[in-house]
Structure 1
Amino acid sequence: MDQKIKFHKYQGAGNDFILIDNRNKLFNHTNTDLVKHLCDRRFGIGADGLMLLQDTTEFDFEMVYFNSDGHQGSMCGNGGRCIVAFARDLGLIKDETVFLAVDGEHHATIQQEQVKLGMTDVHEIQMDGDSYILHTGSPHYVTMVNNLAQLDVYRQGYAIRNNDTYKQEGINVNFVEREGEGYFLRTFERGVEDETYACGTGATAVAMAMAFKEGLDGYHEIPVRALGGQLYVSFEKNHQTFSNVILKGPATFVYEGTIASDYR
């Protein structure tokens, strides 16, 4: 007898995800078409990505992330924050956790809807002309622009992501503009192949790139506003090395439901 699969929908600053408790391993994660279908905003549930929460021996849980194109992806910062909220709501953790993701272990704390997620250290920033290239769990291209609110992010982001340098591996393209004491960010995400309302690893990359540009060292917390909400990135910087990196922002439950068995 087929069993229906329960799912939960969460969003972090407008970055939305389907979350499935897969500790029973009922969900067929090798079915790329299924994951793509579930993430489709017209014919499925609709999301920027899908995550499985799975058992692992050395950590509280394992996060397995899929892009909306159906393929397993690299680290997702807002997804990481949402799966922490999901684990708390499942009763697996209380206000602190250490979990495993594709780029290694992550420490996180949660208080109500605010999640502080430890991100990977970064030891190098490269340049592509006037733009910054760095890997914050996912690869990112960061470029400064004017009049970001009016920018055609899809067209320009698509062109950069698919140019000769980045087409094969793909890259997330971040457009950034100074805003008060922080920055305004819009991101074209690979795997989604479109602009998203927020990107956690992108916000992290932007904060680091701007600190590098300004020649800042020591401890800093930098506000980064995405289309879907406010994020904060803090770190210790020593030349090109960023350590004790924290991504902070909201992670909110939206709704839950079941996936019909004929979708499996």
Structure 2
Amino acid sequence: MKFTKMHGAGNDYVYVDLFREELPVDAPELARQVSDRHTAIGSDGLILIQPSDKADARMRMFNADGSEAEMCGNGLRCVAKYVYDHDIARKEELTLETGAGLLTVQVFPEEGRVKQVRVNMGQPILESKQIPTTLAGDPPVEADLPVGDQTLKVTCVSMGNPHCITFVDKLSDEWVHGVGPQVEKHATFPNRVNAEFIEVISPTELNMRVWERGSGETMACGTGACAVAVAGVLSGRCERKVTIHLLGGDLELEWSEETGEVFMTGPAVEVYSGEWTGGNS
């Protein structure tokens, strides 16, 4: 099976082009196999690029533990780059089918290859039951979330997948690796949740680290960055246009006051291609 390794702001996945390839095993098992960073390719998970009867291509995303997620913003940008660069659909505005619905993507090619991608991520989901969470509020803003021996003030948003955002004075490993796993599996989130921890630099600039559902800490999370931009506005901490600094690079976010849609702009990078022959070959 041929594959391509790509990343968006350091959020890396193994991509398989199902226009041309077939999977050797089922997708959850393949995700677990290829994601191991010591014995395999190494990635945050697996993304499949498939034909669609509704769009230019369909994206399916599987976390490193084999669980399927609805969406991945960084992954979506890479899918757009792949679709353009590999001649699946050679146009600068693409429609991609995801678990969170149809999304419109604008690519910015240079010398025939895409470098930057702007995604219309749609409107955030703010109803608690649809996020989903049992916390009160539509959405919960600065809601109390007991975790261990402390109570966090959290804001919850869905961008097609669930996010729980905590604003902190100073980012640290203890927040991400200590608190993050507890938030991910907290009983108030029936489908688990992505946990973002945010340090505010200014109303237009934020630092972010993320503990992703099913993958652990990743270098970046596009849907998470979108959710953070929304949470920052809802809690009065940031403006509607903001730069978010992640471990793997920067993303530009805008939550449109006119349409209510969230726009994300960031890089998409193809690292290398290869052939997967199985973990024991």
Q: Deviations over 1:21-74 (max 9, x none)?
A: 102461156342222011111111111121111111221111111111112211
Give the structure 2 partner of residue 212 of structure 1: 234
Q: For residue 199 of structure 1, what is the aligned residue in structure 2?
A: 221
CA deviations 1:180-200 (Å, max 9, x no partner) are 4311000000011x1111000
Alignment partner of 1:256 is 2:273 = yes
Say if 2:27 and 2:62, in contact at 8 Å, map to a contact too.
Answer: no
CA distance in 1, matches of 2:97, 2:30: 24
Which residue number corresponds to residue 119 of structure 2?
Answer: 117
1:63 aligns to what SS in structure 2? strand
Any gaps of 5 or more consecutive residues in structure 1? Answer: none
Separation in structure 2 between the aligned mates of residue 95 and residue 15 of structure 1, nearest angstrom? 23
CA distance in 2: counterparts of 1:61 and 1:20, whole angstroms: 12
Output the TM-score relative to the length of structure 1: 0.89
Secondary structure of the corresponding residue to residue 201 of structure 1? helix
Deviations 1:187-234 (A, max 9, x none): 000011x111100011001100001111888xx321111111000111
Contact 2:125 2:160 in 1 (8 A): no
- Tell me the distance in 1 between the aligned counterparts of 2:226 and 2:174: 21
Q: How many residues end up aligned between the 2 structures?
A: 253
Q: Residue 105 in 1 paired to residue 127 in 2?
A: no
Matches within 5 A, 1:150-229: 151-166=174-189, 168-180=190-202, 181-192=204-215, 194-214=216-236, 220-229=240-249
Quote the Cα distance in structure 2 between the aligned partners of 1:150 and 1:68: 21
Give distance in 2, aligned partners of 1:197 and 1:135. 20
Q: What is the identity, as a one-letter code, of the residue corresponding to 1:247?
A: M
Q: Distance in 1 between matches of 2:247 and 2:227?
A: 16
Deviation of 1:94 (Å): 2.9
Equivalences for residues 70-109 of structure 1 within 5 A: 70-92=66-88, 93-109=90-106
Question: Per the alignment, in what secondary structure is the counterpart of residue 126 of structure 1?
Answer: coil
1:54 aligns with 2:36: no
Quote the residue 1:142 is aligned against. 165
Partner residue in 1 for 2:17: 21
Q: Give secondary structure in 2 for the equivalent of 1:237.
A: coil
Q: 2:7 aligns with which of 8, 11, 23?
A: 11
CA-CA distance at 1:161 after TM superposition? 1.5
CA distance in 1, matches of 2:12, 2:5: 7
Residues in 2 aligned to 1:170 and 1:261: alpha-carbon distance in whole angstroms: 30
What's the Cα RMSD here? 2.1
Cα distance between partner residues in 2 of 1:36 and 1:213: 37
C-alpha separation between the residues in 1 aligned to 2:224 and 2:268? 17
Provide the rounded CA distance (Å) in 2 between the counterparts of 1:214 and 1:223.
Answer: 16
Name the TM-score, length of structure 2 as normaliser. Answer: 0.84
Distance 1:159 1:98, change over 3 A: same
For the structure 1 residues 121 and 153, does the alpha-carbon distance in structure 2 shift closer, same or farther, using more than 3 Å as the test? same
Tell me, which stretches of 5 or more residues in structure 2 are unaligned? 109-113, 127-138, 145-152
Query: Structure 1 residues 132 and 33 mapped into 2: Cα distance closer, same or farther (>3 Å)?
Result: same
Contact 1:34/1:263 (CA < 8 Å) preserved in 2? no
Question: Taking structure 1 as reference, are residues 36 and 234 closer, same or farther at Cα in structure 2, changes over 3 Å only?
Answer: same
